[in-house]
Amino acid sequence: MEGQGFRDRAPEFEEMEAEILGISFDTPEANDRFAEKFLLPFRLLSDPDRSVGERYETKRHRDEKYPESPKRRTYLIDPHGIIRKAYRVTDVDSHPVEVLEDLRALR
C-alpha cells in the first residue's frame, strides 16, 4: 500500500520540512479508521463529493476500470502552493523514494 511507504519514510520528509497529506473519496470517519489501522502519522483528507479529485485529475470517468476509486496521483507542492511535480503512480513501493529524491533536487 502506498501510504505505508510514506509512513515508513515520514521522518525523512519531516527532516526536509515537507508535509505529507493523503486524500480519498472516503468519509472522515473511514479515513480515521484507515489511518489508525495502518499507523499513518500524517493527515488523511476526505473528498466525498470528489470536487478535489476533479481538480487534481484523480476522479475516474464512468467508463474507466474501477470508476468509484480515485486514480493514484501524487503532487509535490512548494510552500507557495505551486505544483512542482505531478506523478502518475505506477510502482507504489518505489514511489516514496522517488518523491524524496525529487524533493531533495528542488532544494
Q: Tens of pLDDT along 6-39? A: 999 999 999 999 999 999 999 999 999 999 999 9
Alpha-carbon distance of 66 to 105, in angstroms, equals 34
pLDDT digits (tens, 9 = 90+) for 46-94: 999 999 999 998 999 889 898 888 999 999 999 899 999 999 999 999 9
Residue type for 36, please?
A: E
Question: In the predicted model, is pLDDT for residue 1 greater than 80?
Answer: no
CATH class entry, domain 2-106: alpha beta
Domain boundary assignment for the chain: 2-106
Query: What span, in angstroms and rounded, lies between the C-alpha atoms of 107 and 104?
Result: 5
Angle at 43 between CA 42 and CA 46, to 5 degrees: 150
Q: How confident is the model at residue 107 (pLDDT cuts 50, 70, 90)?
A: confident
Q: For position 29, what pLDDT does the model report?
A: 97
Query: How big is the chain, counted in residues?
Result: 107
Name the residue with cell 470536487: 51
Beta pairing, strands 21-24 & 73-77: unpaired
What's the Rg (C-alpha) of the chain?
14
